[in-house]
Amino acid sequence: MKDLIEIIKTRRSVRNYKEDPVSDEDIKFLIDCARYAPSGSNMQPWNFLVIQNKEVIHKLSENGKKAMIPLAEQIVNNPNKAPGFISFLKTKGNNLFHNASSLVIILGNKKSVTADWDCAMAAQNMMLAAHSRGIGSCWIGLVMPALMDEKILKELGAPPGYKAVAPLIFGHPQGKTVMPERNEPEVKWLK
Ligand SMILES: Cc1cc2nc3c(=O)[nH]c(=O)nc-3n(C[C@H](O)[C@H](O)[C@H](O)COP(=O)(O)O)c2cc1C
């Protein structure tokens, strides 16, 4: 196993995948790692939806792009970037999930007030554990407007009382991913 700090620093959001799928054993391993994440009052308010059906992933990508367009038109604040992004969303065949073989949606129990944070911690465990095994991952926030639609979530098999928090893709990386620039953090010390 690689050194933890190296894993943290070299994990990348992977957007280019090989065809071969991640094994069920690996997905089970990632979910096992997720459940060791901290959670408010140890409520562990998560649930995992594993989607490996290509057609389902494709349909969700198309629904996701459609649901994102009105938001993108409102929120993209960089006029130079906006047309490219919106035309990406409007182009049939562009895949929000970067053609990854597995999509795992971490669902949070609506009754838990800390579910969003707990699920995000579980997501980071999964992404780091994946990287430790050479599996690539990426959080796909762009699909959230579609996943906020109860009908779509139900159709995917989400249990009642849960909301989507962290849609994560996993696959075997194709090529290398360069690290996007990191800013120096602003830190204020009080001693
Ligand atoms: C909440 C969240 C939402 C994200 N949504 C997307 C997305 O929809 N599509 C995508 O390709 N990457 C998405 N990303 C990945 C970020 O773009 C990526 O983490 C960032 O550029 C830094 O790159 P790195 O993860 O390789 O360090 C998301 C990341 C987070 C944490």
Domain ranges, ordered by start, for the chain: 13-171
CA 182 to chain centre: 20
Which CATH superfamily, name and number, covers 13-171?
NADH Oxidase (3.40.109.10)
Shortest-distance Cα residue to atom 20 of ligand 1: 13
Asked if residue 2 has pLDDT above 70, the reply is: no
User: Is residue 141 lining ligand 1, measured as CB closer than 6 Å?
Assistant: yes
What is the value of pTM for the model shown?
0.95
User: Is residue 140 lining ligand 1, measured as CB closer than 6 Å?
Assistant: yes
The DSSP code sequence of 159-182 is PTTEEEEEEEEEE-B-S--PPPP-
Asked if residue 80 has pLDDT above 80, the reply is: no
Report the mean per-residue pLDDT for the chain. Answer: 94
Distance CA 158, CA 84 (A): 33
- pLDDT for the residue numbered 77: 64
**Residue closest to 12 by CA, chosen among 180, 182, 185:** 180
User: Is residue 12 lining ligand 1, measured as CB closer than 6 Å?
Assistant: yes
Q: Give pLDDT tens digits for 113-123.
A: 999 999 999 99
Q: Return the structure tokens found at 84.
A: 């490219």
| Residue 191 Cα to ligand 1 middle (Å) | 34
